[in-house]
Amino acid sequence: MRKGKKVYELPPYSYYYWGYDNLYENRRAGYTYTRPPIEDDTTGYADKLVTHVVLDDDVVILHEDEDGVYVEWDAEKAAPFIRIDERREEE
């Protein structure tokens, strides 16, 4: 639980990119994947670091494993992937 919402914790170094989403009528599906840091990598990536999936009523985890999750949600709503910054939580 986080601020009254159920959340699913993702593996370290999880990323999500909306451009890989699939749209099915009124549902959207997307996935996370892991990408551990590579020393001296200066590549600019379009994806974003995420730490959790917010498990609202419309969110369904279709598949999960050690590399991430495949999730479906209401297409009219924002993607359920979020980043919780633990440093900010301590303040």
Among the residues of the chain, which ranges form H helices? 86-89
Q: How does pLDDT run across 31-56, given as a tens digit for each residue? A: 999 999 999 999 999 999 999 999 99
Number of structural domains (the chain) is 1
Residues 16 and 10: beta-carbon distance below 8 Å: no
Q: What is the rounded distance in angstroms from the CA atom of residue 51 to the CA atom of residue 33?
A: 11
Q: Does the predicted model carry a pTM greater than 0.85?
A: yes
The whole-number average pLDDT for the span 48-67 is 96
**Structural domain includes residue 75:** yes
**Structural domain includes residue 11:** yes
Q: How many residues does the chain have?
A: 91
Q: Is the pLDDT of residue 90 over 80?
A: no
**Structural domain includes residue 36:** yes
**Structural domain includes residue 2:** no
Domain enclosing residue 11, as ranges: 7-85
